[in-house]
């Protein structure tokens, strides 16, 4: 019986997934990142290892690290790019998916896959906070809402409103102005989600959007942003049957399993 561990250290959250020989998820966890990546990794291990009944990291069969902080995971046997991990994880749980839109805490990626789950093309924004989770985080804080509330509250908006600014700093000032002009939170929240959706779709259109489309990452849980994206391109997205935030970590765990099995085969020969 093997334990294959995938660790995805993002800019905002750290994720860990453990799968067994049948690629069944045995443990998963998402936490906010600590001061340094190593602290995040340790906290994740304290949580997931007991869930599969192991005490020490040495009992993990094989580990793959991914994400922004992947080079700072000392226990990883290998590190693999987020693009590959997201593609692998997404194809595994939703084989019909051809376009994965991953909106992370500090970046946004659009990944195109073929029918076998191989990477066809991708595009990434990691230069500008607009269109990433950070943008929503800043806007939610400005409105004094949680990220969840920003999504749900926006559905109650009556009159459509749009934001003129793209830059997070400018949008924040614009939102503060709207608040002082007496506009209601649902309307402002809806405008924020719409602006966010527009930025992401703009990026996606650069590599082309092929159905089925699915959204991964923390922002996939914001119903306001997802509905707006669907409306802009006029198609319904597929929903991942697991938490969309652990797709990258799952992909890493799957790659860990494959890598180990390949090594094992080589040894046997």
Partner 1 sequence: MTFNGWLMYYGGVDIGSAYCKCIIIDEEGIVAKALYPVEGNPQVISQKVVKDALAPQKLKVKHVKKFVTTGRNRKKFPLKNEEMTEVTCIAKGTYNLLPSVRTIIDIGAITNKAIKINEKGKVMEYVINDKCASGSGMFLELVAKALEMEVQDLGRNAAQSRNPLSITNQCTIFAESEVIYLVNEGKSEVDIAAGVCNSIAGNLYSLLKRVRMEKDITLTGGVANNGQIRRNLEERLNFELKTFPFDPSYVAAYGAALFAKEMEKKV
Segment contacting partner 1 by CB under 8 A, of 93-101, 129-137, 246-254, 256-264: 129-137
**Exposed / middle / buried, residue 118 (Cβ in 10 Å: 0-12, 13-18, 19+):** exposed
Nearest-angstrom CA–CA distance, 138 and 79: 30
Segment contacting partner 1 by CB under 8 A, of 51-59, 126-134, 183-191, 259-267: 126-134
What ranges in the chain are assigned the alpha helix state H?
37-51, 82-93, 133-142, 147-154, 168-180, 185-207, 223-233, 247-268
Find the binding residues for partner 1 in span 164-223 (CB under 8 A). 166-170, 173, 180
Beta carbons within 10 angstroms of residue 145's beta carbon: 19
Nearest-angstrom CA–CA distance, 108 and 125: 5
CB of 67 to partner 1, least distance (A): 14
In this chain, which of 32, 36, 206, 208 binds partner 1, going by CB under 8 A?
Answer: 36
Nearest-angstrom CA–CA distance, 209 and 162: 24
Segment contacting partner 1 by CB under 8 A, of 46-54, 123-131, 219-227, 235-243: 123-131
**Cα diameter, the chain:** 73
CB of 11 to partner 1, least distance (A): 7
Task: Draw the binding track, 6-35, toward partner 1 (x: CB under 8 A; -: no contact).
Answer: -----x-----------------------x
Based on the shown chain and the rule CB under 8 A, indicate whether residue 263 belongs to the binding site for partner 1. Answer: no
Task: Draw the binding track, 77-116, toward partner 1 (x: CB under 8 A; -: no contact).
Answer: -----------------------------x----------
Question: 66, 30 in Cβ contact below 8 A?
Answer: no
Task: Draw the binding track, 130-169, toward partner 1 (x: CB under 8 A; -: no contact).
Answer: ----xx--x---------------------------xxxx
Nearest-angstrom CA–CA distance, 84 and 265: 23
* DSSP bridge partners of 25: 19
Positions that interact with partner 1 (CB under 8 A): 11, 35-36, 106, 126-129, 134-135, 138, 166-170, 173, 180
């Amino acid at each position: 019986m093997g334990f294959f561990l995938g660790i995805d250290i993002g800019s905002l959250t750290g994720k860990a997934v453990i799968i067994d020989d049948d690629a069944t998820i045995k443990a998963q966890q998402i936490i906010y990142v600590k001061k340094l990546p190593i602290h995040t990794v340790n906290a994740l291990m304290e949580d997931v290892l007991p869930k599969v009944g192991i005490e020490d990291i040495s009992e993990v069969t094989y580990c793959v690290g991914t994400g922004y902080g992947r080079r700072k995971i000392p226990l990883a046997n290998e590190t693999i790019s987020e693009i590959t991990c997201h593609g692998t994880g997404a194809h595994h749980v939703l084989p019909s998916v051809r376009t994965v839109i991953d909106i992370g805490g500090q970046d946004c990626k659009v990944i195109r896959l073929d029918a076998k789950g191989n990477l066809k093309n991708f595009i990434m924004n990691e230069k500008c906070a607009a269109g990433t989770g950070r943008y929503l985080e800043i806007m939610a804080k400005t409105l004094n809402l949680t990220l969840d509330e920003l999504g749900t509250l926006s559905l109650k908006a009556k009159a459509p409103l749009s934001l003129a600014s793209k830059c997070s700093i400018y949008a924040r000032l614009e939102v503060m102005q709207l608040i002082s002009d007496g506009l209601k939170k649902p309307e402002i929240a809806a405008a924020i989600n719409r602006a966010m959706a527009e930025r992401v779709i703009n990026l996606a259109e650069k590599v082309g959007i092929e159905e089925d489309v699915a959204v991964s990452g923390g922002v996939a849980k914001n119903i306001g942003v997802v509905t707006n994206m669907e409306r802009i391109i006029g198609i319904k997205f597929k929903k991942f049957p697991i938490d969309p935030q652990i797709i990258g970590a799952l992909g890493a765990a799957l790659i860990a399993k494959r890598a180990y099995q390949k090594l094992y085969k080589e040894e046997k020969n």
